[in-house]
């Protein structure tokens, strides 16, 4: 079932991703090409405040051509642990940090073409910290109850995959029934 890489050619090197073409040998000995996005691993964080409200972000995303409702997230810097990244991104994007960071699950957001692996955390015990979004980022912090967030998923208001995964994982794995 496994494919063996025969050769790789890097087509593009960017600030946040690279693109390469791998020529692979299939199990039946044929060759095929695979387009692969090289992307650093990342984290997504579902912050829950003392009142049980989810702290989410509204942010315009050019590829989606829309303002999306999202859980805070970001790419891991070299040498950074997933936990360090989660704390950094939580502070940068929301202006909060947390006393407790609990792993919910890990997943590949798009394994058909990307190497990116995502770590999903629940953040509780929130306290104010200095927000410092990236200079090219404009985000609005909003709060949703778990039930409102589930309704927003069902209605199509929340369409970001990492956010959907985070909310559903929280509902299934961590929240009181």
Cβ–Cβ < 8 Å for 72, 45? yes
CA neighbor of 176 nearest in space, from 140, 124, 99:
124
Q: Is 140 an annotated catalytic residue?
A: no
- Active-site option among 70, 135, 138, 151: 135
Contacts of 143 (CB under 8 A, 6+ apart): 49, 53, 54, 55, 56
- Residue 33 pairs with which residues in a beta bridge? 23
Distance, CA of 141 to CA of 110 (rounded, Å): 26
Return the exposure string of 82-108: e unless at least 16 CB atoms fall within 10 Å of the residue's CB, then b: beebbbbbbbbbbbbbbeebeebeebe
| Furthest CA-CA distance within the chain | 58
Say how far apart CA 141 and CA 21 lie, in whole Å: 39
Question: What are the residue numbers of the active site?
Answer: 135
């Amino acid at each position: 079932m496994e494919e063996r890489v025969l050769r790789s050619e890097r087509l593009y090197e960017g600030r946040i991703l690279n693109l390469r073409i791998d020529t692979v040998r299939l199990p039946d000995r044929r060759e095929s090409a695979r387009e692969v996005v090289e992307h650093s691993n990342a984290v997504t964080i579902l912050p829950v405040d003392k009142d049980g409200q989810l702290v989410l972000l509204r942010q315009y995303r050019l590829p989606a051509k829309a303002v999306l409702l999202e859980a805070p997230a970001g790419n891991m810097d070299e040498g950074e642990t997933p936990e360090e990244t989660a704390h950094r991104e939580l502070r940068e994007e929301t202006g909060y940090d947390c006393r407790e960071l609990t792993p919910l699950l890990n997943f590949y957001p798009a394994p058909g073409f990307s190497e990116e692996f995502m770590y999903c955390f629940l953040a509780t015990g929130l306290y104010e910290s200095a927000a410092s979004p990236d200079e090219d980022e404009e985000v609005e912090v909003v709060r949703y109850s778990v039930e409102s967030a589930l309704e927003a998923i069902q209605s199509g208001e929340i369409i970001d995959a990492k956010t959907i995964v985070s909310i559903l994982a929280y509902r299934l794995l961590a929240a009181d029934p």
